[in-house]
Amino acid sequence: MAKKRRRKSAQRAPTGAKAKGDIGRSTKQAKLIALLERAEGATITEMVKATGWLPHTVRGAMSGALKKRLGLAVTSVKEERGRVYHIGKVRSAA
């Protein structure tokens, strides 16, 4: 039976900033977190514009990366401008 070949990218050791987990990077996930940490929170539409992702990708990132992987408490409230998402505190609709 023939051995499966691994891709070269999987064989390379990480180098530079990626190896150190560069925290100061400006990633789409970091943009998402910054939007959600604002006092006014963020709607799906605002997050789509900021990241360039599709709405289902934004929702998936909130559920998978932010809630499950990072353990952040993402909450949502229905407001005049639509459903608004926040990180952390639960806000009542006024």
Express each pLDDT in 27-77 by its tens digit. 999 999 999 999 999 999 999 999 999 999 999 999 999 999 999 999 999
CATH number assigned to the domain covering 27-87: 1.10.10.10
Tell whether pTM > 0.75: no
Q: What is the pLDDT of residue 28?
A: 93
Q: Where are the domains of the chain?
A: 27-87
Helix axes 44-51 and 28-37, enclosed angle (nearest 10)? 150
Distance of alpha carbon 88 from alpha carbon 76, whole angstroms: 10
Q: In what order do the strands lie in the sheet with 74-79?
A: 42-43, 82-87, 74-79
